[in-house]
């Protein structure tokens, strides 16, 4: 299949193209230099052409997501999706069913999504849901920050940690490594409360040791995506110090911080939140080895779901409503609380403002990329509105005036922060940047050899409308959205890492398994081809 | 053909048991020279029966009206029944793999059916309570390694989940097994503490226990005196796990409220002792594909859930279903009489690896290659952990998943002659 997209304004920041009118040629699922005369054409005059969107941090598949679905019959009833000639039916809301998740990402122009928190023990469940999530290529990050078998290795046999990390990735089909409140969840599961500092003791290690050991292992393995860190003390006043302490601990290695907004709070512990976004934006700007996604909150309904179960326990006491807690042996916790962010609420408005501060003070869009931590800060369906907030100062100021005044006064948003993101910067924070941070060299750009994942928007003054309804979306060279309608359903690939390790680690782990897990060591690694394929391997190691 | 030495070495095969919701994956199946199952290591009586039902003599792969039929002809007949039904019901799903469950949901959607797992009927109402309020749960390894008090609430796992106590390493010094039940069950016989509780006081007991835990005023009820001490023990423990099998929705909500309040004092979780091996998987697959775990109707072109109205037993009892597809389940053995009566009156397609009363009475019955015996697959244990089912024997029979996919394919192109 060959296709020429002609006459559009192309935004391909990875290749230095910023709005030039040029053709993009696709053949056999890849971007190519030229296609023969007579190839099919899309007339993209008056349109904006970008690589397919890449979501670096979302929660779309696995036991936590599914437990959240089961909590939300009201949302599902109000947002149904009919079966059609090409689509399965389903339901939406903040936690859509799997098929609808895939369709809606595609309709939004996103073609690659990272599930950011998979319990390794539940890998088969995560993979089975991804198999039922069409349209997108998907990768997932495995939770290793509260793994007591790894803690044991860190204490007794630290030289093996690197092989063990690679083993876990291979055993699950994972792409990268996630730390969530390292040590804190395990400490809380032991009934000793959450950690407050990186030097609290948990099972013979400290959060700092865990972060150092696992970040070090990821660094040495040269995984395509650096360690992906959800810092401790999420949501707590004064937590920016923990965030900085985490970054100091990581210095010298690459790292990605998840949903930085939730970790950018000043104020005294137990007191009112303040914004420390300017300090963190400054620090991030000065440290090229670090990156983050924002985790913007958007006013309206959300579902908080996190492996950081102590946070959910605090939140349930705020809402008094539905709450799920689910402890996974050896590895992690999980908490879910449906939540609504309200613009008149001081805390919610400040969170919203801090996210915007981070975006607007960011010096390098390649390293501070867009997320709402879907569905924690809001649904991925709110990305177009977020883009408008970034691109349209008048719209933003209008929204600022409607939000809680005391909260907004605590930010620098009213201090002539009149930056407006350009289309090039939006292309960076929604595709080129995330793809680069993930080490997905075939994604997020339109140079020859890239995957033929392309989104074409009608150029419109209302950026929310423009980004909410792409005119065309092309995945692997096939037109899947035409005139805003989904016209073809297809299965995406699993993106998994390939990181070699010493097989001798099997025996080291086997002993630790029989003691701790309630499944057999030999049952643990996923081997079912229908769960793992079709997959694409991304090799660890420096790009050659 | 493997060489004799290799065949000898390969006779011991790792296996997973589907005999109950524990889905023990530490079983060894010893395969005889004739390719049949010679013996099993580490199974319990339920496990032995589970393997025997699938590895032993069984009806032919396909039957129509009780008579042996070719698989293709039976598929055509099944597709014809389901394709022309105006209000089909898809029911069961607890004793098959997630892969087959996935195919069953797809087929239910394609034919506009109501689909309902048997789990909510067999395992009680805790699922509804969890949709309404949430839940606090844990995997078995967490309960084994952390629960200082394991409280079995009106259930008898020694009979229904024979290896549960072994897998939770109970009894063990420093940990207590507390059983609350109306009679001294086999499980109670092994308990450190047995609290006898009249069945009709179950709801009052949960409220009373909760009041004690919260420290609020307690209305004295005769027969519930021991609960004050029990509440004090729960409060004083660092980690509590409640294992239950609750029949009623109100009782399930009360238990949830207790766990939630206990969680403010100590770490507390609750687990439903699901009977069927993949009951949890059925609800999970349905939830991820539709947004709802049970009682889902596709008649309007999208999923609509209504637990009272669209529960399989209710649909049947009202006389609303005009055909049924039963997968991995024996509803004639467990449905209430009015529902069972209706099921006998309508054309039924049964897809099951075992011989069941429902299959024997069905218009079309497929007796399939079993996930966990002849075919690989995945089951979600009662705590939600996905466990691999392994093929230890060979069979030329199609699997549940293959039968369902083949029916779906025929339903999708009804005009064509399958021959």
Smallest Cα–Cα separation from B144: which of B161, B172, B169, B164? B169
User: Which residues of chain A does B384 touch, with a Cβ-Cβ cutoff of 8 Å?
Assistant: 63, 122, 125, 326
Q: Evaluate whether B302 touches A80 at the Cβ level (below 8 Å).
A: yes
Chain B residue with CA closest to A60: the answer is B288
Q: What is the pLDDT of residue A514?
A: 85
User: Which residues of chain A does B301 touch, with a Cβ-Cβ cutoff of 8 Å?
Assistant: 82-83, 89
Name the B residues in 172-201 with CB < 8 Å from any A CB.
none
What distance in Å separates the CA atoms of residue B282 and residue B377, rounded to the nearest whole number?
13
Name the A residues in 222-261 with CB < 8 Å from any B CB.
none
User: Which residues of chain A does B134 touch, with a Cβ-Cβ cutoff of 8 Å?
Assistant: 71, 322-325, 336
CA of A506 to nearest chain B CA: how many angstroms apart?
Answer: 18
Facing B302 at nearest CB: one of A82, A129, A325? A82
What distance in Å separates the CA atoms of residue A324 and residue B131, rounded to the nearest whole number?
10
- Joined together, the tokens standing for residue A538 give 């991304």
Q: pLDDT digits over B355-387, tens only?
A: 999 999 999 999 999 999 999 999 999 999 999
- DSSP secondary-structure letter at A218? H
Say whether A71 and B131 touch across the interface (CB within 8 A).
yes
Is B257 in the A-facing interface, judged by CB distances under 8 Å? no
Say whether B384 and A122 touch across the interface (CB within 8 A).
yes
Q: What is the pLDDT of residue A377?
A: 98
Q: What is the pLDDT of residue A198?
A: 98
CB under 8 Å to B260, separation ≥6 — which residues? A323, B133, B134, B136
Is A72 in the B-facing interface, judged by CB distances under 8 Å? yes
Q: What is the pLDDT of residue A353?
A: 98
| pLDDT above 60 for B417 | no
Q: What is the pLDDT of residue A544?
A: 52
| Confidence class for position B10, pLDDT limits 50, 70, 90 | low
Chain B residue with CA closest to A331: the answer is B142
Say whether A96 and B291 touch across the interface (CB within 8 A).
yes
Q: What is the pLDDT of residue B262?
A: 97
Chain A residue with CA closest to B300: the answer is A82
What distance in Å separates the CA atoms of residue B51 and residue B275, rounded to the nearest whole number?
16
Is A156 in the B-facing interface, judged by CB distances under 8 Å? no
Sign, Cα dihedral of A441, A443, A446, A448: positive
Say whether B269 and A329 touch across the interface (CB within 8 A).
no
Dihedral over alpha carbons A266, A268, A271, A272 (to 10 degrees):
-20
What distance in Å separates the CA atoms of residue A17 and residue A424, rounded to the nearest whole number?
9
Q: What is the pLDDT of residue B4?
A: 41
Say whether B302 and A80 touch across the interface (CB within 8 A).
yes
Furthest-apart CA atoms within chain B: distance in Å: 74
Q: How many CA atoms lie within 13 A of A466 on its CB side?
A: 20
Facing A528 at nearest CB: one of B136, B290, B376? B376
- Joined together, the tokens standing for residue B239 give 């980690």
- Joined together, the tokens standing for residue B201 give 């006081």
CA of B250 to nearest chain A CA: how many angstroms apart?
Answer: 17
Is A69 in the B-facing interface, judged by CB distances under 8 Å? yes
CA of A137 to nearest chain B CA: how many angstroms apart?
Answer: 18
Name the B residues in 277-296 with CB < 8 Å from any A CB.
283-285, 287-293
Name the A residues in 74-103 with CB < 8 Å from any B CB.
76-77, 80-83, 88-91, 93, 95-99
Mean pLDDT by 10 residues, chain A (544 residues): 97 98 98 96 98 98 98 97 97 98 98 98 98 98 98 97 98 98 98 95 97 98 98 97 98 96 95 97 97 98 98 96 98 98 98 98 97 98 98 97 97 92 98 98 98 98 98 98 97 98 96 92 98 97 72
Q: Evaluate whether B323 touches B347 at the Cβ level (below 8 Å).
A: yes
- Joined together, the tokens standing for residue A459 give 């150029």
Facing A327 at nearest CB: one of B132, B139, B293? B139
* Burial bucket for residue A542 (CB in 10 Å: 0-12, 13-18, 19+): exposed
User: Which residues of chain B does A132 touch, with a Cβ-Cβ cutoff of 8 Å?
Assistant: 102, 288-289
Backbone angles phi, psi at B264, to 5 degrees: -70, -20
Chain A residue with CA closest to B23: the answer is A519
Is B214 in the A-facing interface, judged by CB distances under 8 Å? no
Chain A residue with CA closest to B147: the answer is A190
What distance in Å separates the CA atoms of residue B376 and residue B13, rounded to the nearest whole number?
13
Facing B290 at nearest CB: one of A95, A97, A191? A97
| Confidence class for position B416, pLDDT limits 50, 70, 90 | low
Say whether B288 and A69 touch across the interface (CB within 8 A).
yes
Facing B384 at nearest CB: one of A63, A80, A528? A63
Q: How many CA atoms lie within 13 A of A384 on its CB side?
A: 19
Q: Evaluate whether A208 touches A181 at the Cβ level (below 8 Å).
A: no
Chain B residue with CA closest to A121: the answer is B385
Asked whether this complex has an ipTM greater than 0.90, the answer is: yes
| pLDDT above 50 for B1 | no
Is B16 in the A-facing interface, judged by CB distances under 8 Å? yes
Q: How many CA atoms lie within 13 A of B283 on its CB side?
A: 31
Beta bridge partners of B194: B179
Dihedral over alpha carbons B38, B43, B47, B49 (to 10 degrees):
40
Q: Return the percentage of chain B with pLDDT > 70, whole number.
A: 96
| Confidence class for position B129, pLDDT limits 50, 70, 90 | confident
Chain A residue with CA closest to B99: the answer is A128
Backbone angles phi, psi at B103, to 5 degrees: -70, -35
What distance in Å separates the CA atoms of residue B195 and residue B191, rounded to the nearest whole number?
10
| Cis previous bond, A396, omega within 30 | no
* Burial bucket for residue A458 (CB in 10 Å: 0-12, 13-18, 19+): middle
- Joined together, the tokens standing for residue B300 give 């309007």
Which pTM value belongs to this model? 0.97
Facing A71 at nearest CB: one of B109, B134, B260? B134
Say whether A520 and B142 touch across the interface (CB within 8 A).
no
- Joined together, the tokens standing for residue B380 give 């979600």
Facing B134 at nearest CB: one of A73, A80, A324? A324
Interface test with A, best of B288, B289, B381 (most A CBs within 10 A): B288
Say whether B388 and A527 touch across the interface (CB within 8 A).
yes
Q: What is the pLDDT of residue B415?
A: 56
Q: What is the pLDDT of residue A386?
A: 98
Beta bridge partners of B268: B240
Say whether A326 and B138 touch across the interface (CB within 8 A).
yes
Say whether A325 and B388 touch across the interface (CB within 8 A).
no
CB under 8 Å to A510, separation ≥6 — which residues? A521
Cβ pairs A/B, distance under 8 A: 174
Q: What is the pLDDT of residue B2?
A: 40
Say whether A80 and B304 touch across the interface (CB within 8 A).
yes
Angstrom distances, CA of residue B399 to CA of B101, B370, B376: 12, 6, 10
| pLDDT above 50 for B7 | no
Q: Are strands A454-458 and A290-293 parallel, antiparallel or unpaired?
A: unpaired
Name the A residues in 18-47 with CB < 8 Å from any B CB.
none
């Amino acid at each position: 299949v060959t296709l020429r997209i002609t006459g559009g304004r192309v935004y391909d920041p990875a290749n230095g193209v910023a709005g030039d009118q040029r053709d993009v040629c696709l053949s056999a699922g890849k971007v190519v230099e030229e296609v023969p005369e007579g190839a099919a054409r899309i007339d993209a005059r008056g349109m904006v052409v970008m690589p397919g969107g890449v979501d670096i941090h979302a929660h779309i598949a696995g036991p936590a997501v599914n437990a959240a679905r089961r909590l939300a019959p009201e949302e599902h009833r109000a947002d149904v999706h009919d079966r059609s000639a090409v689509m399965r039916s389903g339901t939406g809301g903040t936690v859509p069913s799997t098929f609808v998740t895939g369709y809606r990402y595609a309709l939004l122009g996103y073609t690659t999504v990272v599930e950011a928190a998979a319990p390794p023990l539940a890998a088969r469940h995560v993979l089975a849901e991804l198999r039922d999530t069409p349209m997108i290529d998907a990768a997932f990050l495995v939770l290793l920050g509260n793994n007591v078998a790894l803690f044991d290795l860190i204490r007794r046999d630290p030289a093996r940690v690197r092989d063990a990390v690679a083993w876990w990735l291979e055993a699950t089909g994972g792409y990268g490594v996630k730390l969530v409140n390292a040590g804190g969840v395990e400490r809380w599961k032991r009934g000793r409360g959450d950690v407050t500092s990186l030097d609290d003791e948990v099972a013979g290690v400290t959060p700092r040791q865990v972060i150092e050991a696992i970040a070090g292992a990821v660094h040495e393995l040269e995984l395509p995506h650096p360690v992906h860190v959800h810092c401790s003390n999420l949501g707590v006043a004064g937590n920016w110090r923990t965030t900085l302490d985490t970054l100091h601990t990581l210095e010298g290695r690459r790292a990605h911080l998840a949903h930085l907004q939730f970790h950018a709070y000043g104020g005294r512990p137990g007191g009112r939140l303040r914004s420390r976004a300017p300090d963190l934006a400054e620090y991030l700007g000065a440290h090229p080895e670090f990156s983050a996604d924002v985790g913007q909150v958007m006013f309206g309904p959300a579902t908080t779901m996190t492996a950081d179960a102590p946070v959910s326990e605090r939140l349930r006491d705020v809402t008094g409503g539905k709450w799920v807690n689910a402890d996974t042996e050896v590895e992690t916790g999980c908490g879910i609380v449906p939540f609504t962010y309200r613009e008149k609420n001081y805390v919610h408005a400040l969170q919203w403002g801090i996210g915007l501060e981070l975006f607007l003070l960011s010096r390098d869009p390649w390293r501070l990329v867009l997320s709402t931590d879907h569905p924690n800060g809001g649904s991925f369906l709110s990305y177009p509105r977020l883009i408008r907030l970034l691109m349209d100062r008048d719209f933003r100021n209008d929204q600022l005036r409607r939000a809680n005044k005391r909260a907004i006064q605590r930010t620098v948003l009213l201090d002539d922060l009149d930056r407006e993101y350009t289309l090039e910067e939006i292309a960076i924070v929604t595709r080129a940047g995330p793809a680069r941070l993930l080490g997905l060299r075939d994604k997020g750009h339109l140079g020859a050899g890239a995957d033929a994942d392309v989104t074409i928007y009608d150029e419109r003054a209302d950026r929310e409308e423009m980004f909410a309804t792409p005119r065309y979306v092309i995945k692997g060279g096939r037109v899947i959205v035409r005139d805003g309608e989904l016209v073809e359903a297809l299965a995406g690939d699993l993106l998994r890492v390939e990181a070699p390790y010493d097989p001798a680690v099997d025996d080291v782990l086997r002993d630790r398994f029989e003691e701790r897990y309630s499944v057999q060591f030999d049952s643990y690694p996923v081997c079912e081809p229908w769960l793992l394929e079709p997959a694409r391997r991304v090799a660890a190691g420096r790009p050659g | 053909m493997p060489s004799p030495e290799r065949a000898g070495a390969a006779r011991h095969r790792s296996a997973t048991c589907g005999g109950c919701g524990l889905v023990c994956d530490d079983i060894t199946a010893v395969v005889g020279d004739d390719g049949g199952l010679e013996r099993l290591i580490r199974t319990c009586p339920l496990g032995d029966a589970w393997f025997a039902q699938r590895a032993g003599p069984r009806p032919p792969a396909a039957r129509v009206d009780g008579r042996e039929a070719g698989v293709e002809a039976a598929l055509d007949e099944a597709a014809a029944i389901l394709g022309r039904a105006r209000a089909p019901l898809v029911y069961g799903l607890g004793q098959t793999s997630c892969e087959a469950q996935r195919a069953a949901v797809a087929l239910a959607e394609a034919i506009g059916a109501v689909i309902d797992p048997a789990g909510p009927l067999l395992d009680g109402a805790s699922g509804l309570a969890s949709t309404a309020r949430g839940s606090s749960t844990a995997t078995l390894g967490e309960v084994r390694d952390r629960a200082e008090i394991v409280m079995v609430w009106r259930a008898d796992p020694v009979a229904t989940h024979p290896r549960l106590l072994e897998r939770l390493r109970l009894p063990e010094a420093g940990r207590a097994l507390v059983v609350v039940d109306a009679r001294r069950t086999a499980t109670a016989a092994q308990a450190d503490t047995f609290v006898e509780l009249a069945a009709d006081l179950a709801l009052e007991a949960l409220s009373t226990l909760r009041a004690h835990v919260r420290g609020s005023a307690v209305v004295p009820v005769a027969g519930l005196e021991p609960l004050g001490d029990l509440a004090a023990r729960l409060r004083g423990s660092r980690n509590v796990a409640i294992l239950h099998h609750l029949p009623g929705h109100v009782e399930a909500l009360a238990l949830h409220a207790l766990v939630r309040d206990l969680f403010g004092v100590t770490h507390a979780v609750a687990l439903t002792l699901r009977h069927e091996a993949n009951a949890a998987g059925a609800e999970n697959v349905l939830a991820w594909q539709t947004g709802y775990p049970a009682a889902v109707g596709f008649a309007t072109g999208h999923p609509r859930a209504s637990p009272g109205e669209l529960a399989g037993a209710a649909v049947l009892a009202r006389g609303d279903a005009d055909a049924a597809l039963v997968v991995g389940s024996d509803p004639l053995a467990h449905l209430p009489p009015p529902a069972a009566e209706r099921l006998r009156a309508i054309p039924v397609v049964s897809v099951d690896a075992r011989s069941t009363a429902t299959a024997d009475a069905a218009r079309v019955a497929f007796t399939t290659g079993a996930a966990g015996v002849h075919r690989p697959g995945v089951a979600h244990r009662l705590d939600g952990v996905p466990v691999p089912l392994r093929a230890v024997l060979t069979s030329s029979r199609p699997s549940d998943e293959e039968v369902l996919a083949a029916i779906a394919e025929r339903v999708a192109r009804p005009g064509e002659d399958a021959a």
